[in-house]
Structure 1
Amino acid sequence: MKNRRALIVMVLAVVFGLAAVLLAAQWLLHAPAPTSNRIAVAASDINIGQRLTPEMLKLVEWPADSVPKGAYLDPQKLAGRVLRTSVLAGEPVSEAKLAPAGTLGGLSALITEGKRAITVRVNDVIGVAGFALPGNYVDIIVSTETDPLPEQQQRGGPRERSISKIVLERILVLAVAQEVNRDETKPKVVNAVTLEVTPEQAEKLDLARSVGTLSLALRNQVDPAAAETSGATKDNLLPQAAPVRRVALPAPAPRPRAQAQRAPAPAPQRDCVKVINGLHASQECF
């Protein structure tokens, strides 16, 4: 009896298992096949400013519902285009990462329309110890001599006074020396830094480096706030102590002269007689 019951249970399990397999197979056969597109991606790491060739790209299957905007389906259409940003291997190449059609390769492809690139000479100190890398933002500080204040001229002070002032803010670093790769994070001590500026800023920067010494101040990339400063001079850098005002003390009052004490005049001499009256004695003077 027990064997018969166990056999029935096993038969039912096999039947239900076969039914589940058949239902799953039917669902897979009738399920819609996932759609995909073949898009162009980088075959290897490509640096910023490089001109693309078909050998740098390859086609890969990509889900149709997550194809990046502006992606290319034909690598031949990307031949001769210039990258504005670095692209890693396997990363889709979209229109947003490309310079306008007809742009030549190199640094000129990185310059925003309406702006200019200008290079300034730096050293390990001016270049923020090599941490001013492509893609960072810096402020430009000039240290120079300026005309004295009117009150200093009246007092016959020095003809010029030293001042350090921020003249340009939030300037994009395009390249250091001849490196334009923005994926680097290690400091690079170089002798030149190329900056992206407007034409007006280019004029100010050229004048600033001719009248004084330039320094770069590295700033936060997401901080757009302007620095409201009046410049540093010797007067506000090392303020002089206020002169001590001498208060004239009142002259002491003259001491009254001590009057000489006159000796009392001697009493006139008188004749005296001692009178004895019984037990009492007295003196009488004439």
Structure 2
Amino acid sequence: MNRRFFIMLGIALLLALLAAWVANRWLLNRVVPDNTVSVVVAAVEIPFGIKLEESHVKVVAWPGNSAPQGTFPSKEQVVGRVTMNKFYPDEIITDKRISEHLGGSTLSALITKDYRAISVKVDEVIGVAGFILPGNKVDILATKMDRTANKADTRTLLQNIKVLAVDQEASQEKEKPAIVRAVTLELTPSQAVEIAQAQQEGTIQLTLRNPLDGEIEDTSEKVVEVLEKKQVTKHARKVIPW
């Protein structure tokens, strides 16, 4: 009787030790290591094209293995820089989405390296009835009048061009169409020369692109001929006999 009791007691102790070991391993696997890092995120909704202030941002703890590249650990590293995109509350601020402000207007900080900003005069038609906003992409059509042949040649001069500002506004907050007088475009130096020449030789017009459409078509052979004057149809009066 005593022998049987000790055998059962030994088995119970072994099972208890095994259960404790399994439970301990399970708890260890559920413990998340403390490897968080400090990252700067937006404290409020931050518009496009403004200089960041301390009240715009905050520092939060972020899991180190999921933090994207180009984050900032302190507010001082982002204050004074210019936003190149719109930020929503708690969105991480990275170096590719803000620009260094080295003086001058905030617009100068939005220009991509080796590019130039040039403003073109527009009206309600050229400006796509006021629906163009900063950050949009446009194609530019150039029309040159041939007065001797009484026709106009229209061609696609440039494609997928970024709009930096509309009038003197670089914010993307506007949603309602408005009549504008000028649109500022981001161009390479050679493209800026093309635009200036096209404005001297004729007229230009903007066509608004879908944000997801970045395709560049070969339009070197495509020329559209438009008659300068509309032909007036003469209607002969029909005499009805009585």
TM (norm. structure 1) is: 0.62
TM (norm. structure 2) is: 0.72
Q: 2:179 aligns with which of 156, 166, 189?
A: 189
CA distance in 2 between partners of 1:57 and 1:105 (Å): 22
Instruction: State the structure with bigger RCO (CA 8 A, min sep 6), 1 or 2.
Output: 2
The residue number in structure 2 matching 1:172 is: 162
**Matched-pair contact (CA < 8 Å) for 2:102–2:109:** no
CA distance in 2 between partners of 1:180 and 1:30 (Å): 49
Q: How does 1:4-153 map to 2 (within 5 A)?
A: 23=23, 27=27, 31-100=31-100, 102=102, 104-146=104-146, 148=148
Q: Secondary structure at the match of 1:66?
A: coil
What displacement does 1:100 show? 3.8
CA distance in 2 between partners of 1:42 and 1:140 (Å): 35
RMSD: 3.2
Aligned residues between the structures: 209
The residue number in structure 1 matching 2:218 is: 226
Q: How does 1:266-281 map to 2 (within 5 A)?
A: none
Unaligned runs of 5+ in 1: 1-15, 149-157, 239-286
Unaligned runs of 5+ in 2: 1-15, 232-242
User: Which structure: larger Rg?
Assistant: 1
**Matched-pair contact (CA < 8 Å) for 1:38–1:59:** yes
**Matched-pair contact (CA < 8 Å) for 1:145–1:162:** yes
Identity among equivalent positions (%) equals 35
CA distance in 1 between partners of 2:188 and 2:95 (Å): 25
Name segments (4+ residues, structure 1) moved above 6 Å: none
**1:212 and 1:29, CA in 2 relative to 1: closer, same or farther beyond 3 A?**
closer
The amino acid across from 2:53 in the alignment is: T
**1:104 and 1:81, CA in 2 relative to 1: closer, same or farther beyond 3 A?**
farther
What displacement does 1:219 show? 2.9
What displacement does 1:229 show? 0.8
What displacement does 1:193 show? 1.0
